[in-house]
Structure 1
Amino acid sequence: MAKGQEQAAPDAVMTRIGQVVILHHAGDREEARHRFLQLWSEIGADGDPLHRCTLAHYMADAQDDPADELAWDLRALTAAEELTDDRLAAHEGALAVRALYPSLHLNLAADYVKLGRSGAARTHLRRARGAARTLADDPYGDGVRAAIERLELRLGEDGAGEGVWGPPRQRP
């Protein structure tokens, strides 16, 4: 296969994911879920980890049930663990693998808060905070660090506020 053809498939999938994200942000949550599921079936559970991570990361936002949201965020983390910096470098504009982890763990912490599982929430919040040390001092890094701080404040050491709020989710 020619090099240009190899590059076209990943870009096409990422473009399609982006189009569904736009649909979701425009307010058509149900159609976005439907299209994300179609893409997931095309990509497959053993498909490209970048595609699975990206799709699952966004699919989590389209869920109504916090348990379903958690399941998709766990899929995103699992796929991220399979990624390499070389794979990300092949996708123009992609972040380094380490830049994904603060957001992934932050989202998992928020999921666990919604489910009333403060211990798991605190574990992922600590992981998000630790991973955030690798983020650049730029708008993305600043946004993720601010979201971590907001969740830390809302969760508090006593667990106050569990299950009654939803922090803004951060996307790479």
Structure 2
Amino acid sequence: MAERREASADAVMTRIGQAVILLHGGDREEARNRFGELWSEIGESGDALHRCTLAHYLADTQDDPGDELAWDLRALTAADGPTGDGGAGPEGGGAAAGMGPIGPDDGARPGGGAGGARPRAAGPESEALRALYPSLHLNLAEDYVKLQRPDAARVHLDRARRAADALGGAGCGHGVRAGIDRLERWLRET
């Protein structure tokens, strides 16, 4: 039974990867369609890593900055996981959802404030989710810049910087760190 679940999980990640190839190849519409089909299949209660990864990429296929923000917030909500503490995403109505001011008092939530990214459970999935926090917060900072909300952008940029130790030294970690540095310079100049 565990092997079937593992094979199924690998199939979902493979399908996400195939749609990512389309996205990076410039076919945003087809990528958006495939991501949308997958989202319909796994839904709001699916595997947290799948939901987070899928919402993270679905955000990149959106034309409207508000829609992009909504998907990035879903990705963060999936990474934070269901806690019953009000959450950090749209359903929880927390400050990270963009429903109110974002300030230093929301540091108690995973991925936020001075505590940085703190996955809820140990294991490979939580480590994979923890490694996504810098990129999730960088994307949210970029979303808020597009929406002309520089204060919210700075909060998420700070969270991205604090969570960056989870990136390691190779691969996309360099790109995320460079993105953090670039956005930080841009916000300083504005």
Distance of 1:5 and 1:72 partners within structure 2: 29
Shift of 1:146: 1.4
Shift of 1:78: 0.5
Aligned residues: 152
Shift of 1:64: 0.7
Aligned residue type for 2:133: Y
Distance of 1:51 and 1:134 partners within structure 2: 19
SS across alignment from 1:133: helix
Runs of 4+ in structure 1 over 4 Å off = none
Distance of 2:14 and 2:128 partners within structure 1: 19
What is the percent sequence identity of the aligned residues? 66
Give the corresponding residue for 1:109.
141
TM-score, normalised with respect to structure 1: 0.82
Give the corresponding residue for 2:123.
86
Aligned residue type for 2:169: D
Maintained 8 Å contact 1:109/1:120: yes
Shift of 1:145: 1.5
Give the corresponding residue for 1:36.
35
SS across alignment from 1:64: coil
Aligned residue type for 1:41: S
Distance of 2:178 and 2:23 partners within structure 1: 24
Maintained 8 Å contact 1:85/1:96: no
Name stretches of at least 5 consecutive residues in structure 1 with no aligned partner.
Answer: 90-94, 161-172
Maintained 8 Å contact 1:85/1:97: no
Aligned residue type for 2:17: G
Please show how residues 60-99 of structure 1 align to structure 2 within 5 Å: 60-82=59-81, 84-86=121-123, 88=125, 96-99=128-131
Shift of 1:85: 4.0
Aligned residue type for 2:125: L
TM-score, normalised with respect to structure 2: 0.74
Shift of 1:87: 5.1
Aligned residue type for 1:44: G
Distance of 1:48 and 1:96 partners within structure 2: 12
Cα root mean square deviation, aligned: 1.7
